[in-house]
Amino acid sequence: MNKITSEMTGETIKGSSAPKYFIEKPTYPDSIRDDFFSIMNDPESRKYHDLSTSPNYIAWDKFRHKIGTNKKFSPEQIWFYVRQLRKFSSRPTVLKAETGDYFNWNKLPAMEASLHRIDMFAGGRLFNETDKLSSSKNHTYLSRGLLEEAIASSQLEGAHTTRKAAREMLIQNREPKNESEQMIVNNFKTISRIQEDFKDRKLDLDLLYEIHAMISDGTVPKDEQHRLRKDSDNIVVQGIIGGEEYIAHVPPSEKFLSENIQVLIDYANNDDESQFTHPIIKAILIHFWIGYLHPFTDGNGRLARALFYWYLLRKGYWTFMYLPISTIIKRNPNQYAMAYIYSEQDDLDMTYFFDFHIRKILLAIKDFEEYLDGKIDENKLIESSVSRKYTLNDRQKQLIYYLVSDESPSVSVGSHTTLHSITRQTASKDLRALEEYGLIESKRAGRLIKFYPTQKLLDETKTF
């Protein structure tokens, strides 16, 4: 019986009879090659190509609707022209498909500006120019990024829990109750280790096994860890596409995997500047490569996203730890799946995957900038009320805003410790000071001592 691992739904299914999904492709007339030169000489030919790349890089199934009615040429003729232009301008990658051909990609006109925008963020300009990131806020925003990425990346693979419940579990350091919660805890620990020390290690099979074992702890059988996937595991990737269940990807053979995993490792470690590839492009390629090879029986999606962060941190893109990109991907999981599928099935054109991820990174940056602006507004509210009367640090100000803004707020020493990446001693000191001011009060909740806002605090923050 087949064991079906779905990276789109996160479920493991045995004995599926789902059909393989194939993208829609046009049927060309016999005269198509002659038509190419007719279209090339058409004054509007450039417009046809631009329609296929802006605002998104699209495939035939979307393009044929976008092109509309054309009196001169059919949608099929125009698509053939567009596809040939893509081939002429494409460049190969080092990633080989099982067919023996290499994946390729096109550097779109908008990519240059997008990569520059990302580089400006990665260089910390946002923080340096506005002085928004004090040391204590640094820890808080970093913890937020780790928490949100751990949750969203797990939910992409089917972790069935709410964001609020998952955050509370991680912040309170509560033991996971089921496999979904275990996935999230594993992800949080893994991403934290990448940020702490894995980023300083070169990739090899041992590190790959170690990261995978952390990601899959308690969710994958022990005999499926510390080894590569075998043909006898009968793994295929399956998920819901357009409301129907399909097999989206059949991973390459065990032989191909064993021959090419080292190629991936060597590529990830290669720092030869004469073969320079922009770090964002390279990180996305590593992400895709793991998904294509599917080196393990389960957890490959989380592994791919973890290695994306690993590579960028090695290259000095430290601000990416503040960007939970999976939260953006999770808004459009089907687009994420289709970016994989188009790249594999449309002439091995990885531009679909690059374009998708660059756009999502830009959205994640925009979200984070808005989050920072919101924090500035929060601080202004705090400054106009309680901060005038009491000496408060940034952590205490953020805690007060949370306590008076949330529907059922509470905090413990453990949650304050996790959320701000501080010691328990520092967390206790923060809370004791607020309690001495009469702004919070402690109550026992089982084995935990929790702190709640007092009426005094609520009265002093009525303007919120």
pLDDT reported for residue 172: 81
Residue 10 has pLDDT above 60, yes or no: no
Interval 261-290: pLDDT, tens: 999 999 999 988 777 899 999 999 999 999
Least confident of 129-138, 391-400, 412-421: 129-138
Task: Give residue 57's pLDDT.
Answer: 97
Instruction: Quick: pLDDT tens for 295-305.
Output: 999 999 999 99
Mean pLDDT along residues 110-137: 72
User: What is the mean pLDDT of the segment spanning 444-451?
Assistant: 86
**pLDDT digits over 25-61, tens only?**
999 988 888 888 888 888 888 888 899 998 999 999 9
> Residue 463 — very low, low, confident or very high, per pLDDT cuts 50/70/90?
low
> Residue 230 above 50 pLDDT?
yes
Taken in order of first residue, the domains within the chain and their CATH numbers are: 3-91 (no CATH), 106-235+250-370 (1.10.3290.10), 384-460 (1.10.10.10)
Q: How high does pLDDT run on average in the chain?
A: 88
List residues bridging with 444 in a β-sheet.
449
CA 300 – CA 248 distance, rounded (Å): 14
Q: Which of 58-72, 227-241, 250-264, 367-381 has the highest mean pLDDT?
A: 250-264
d(Cα 211, Cα 305) in Å, to the nearest integer?
11
Contacts of 460 (CB under 8 A, 6+ apart): 385, 386, 389, 439
% of the chain with per-residue pLDDT over 70: 92
Mean pLDDT of 14-35: 83
Closest CA to 427 of 146, 173, 164, 165: 173
**Dihedral, CA atoms, 221, 222, 227, 228, nearest 10 degrees?**
10
Percent of the chain with pLDDT over 90: 61
Asked whether the beta carbons of 103 and 346 are under 8 A apart, the reply is no
Residue 444 per-residue DSSP state: E
pLDDT at residue 246 tops 60: yes
CA distance 212 to 207: 8
Res 83 pLDDT > 70? yes
Task: Give the model's confidence band at 129: pLDDT under 50 very low, under 70 low, under 90 confident, else very high.
Answer: very low
| Mean pLDDT for the stretch of residues 95-108 | 97
Give the residue with greater pLDDT, 82 vs 402.
Answer: 82
pLDDT digits (tens, 9 = 90+) for 193-224: 999 999 999 999 999 999 999 999 999 999 99
pLDDT at 3 over 70: no
Check whether 14 has a pLDDT greater than 70. no
Pairing of strands 411-412, 244-249: unpaired
C-alpha–C-alpha distance, residues 435 and 452, integer Å: 10
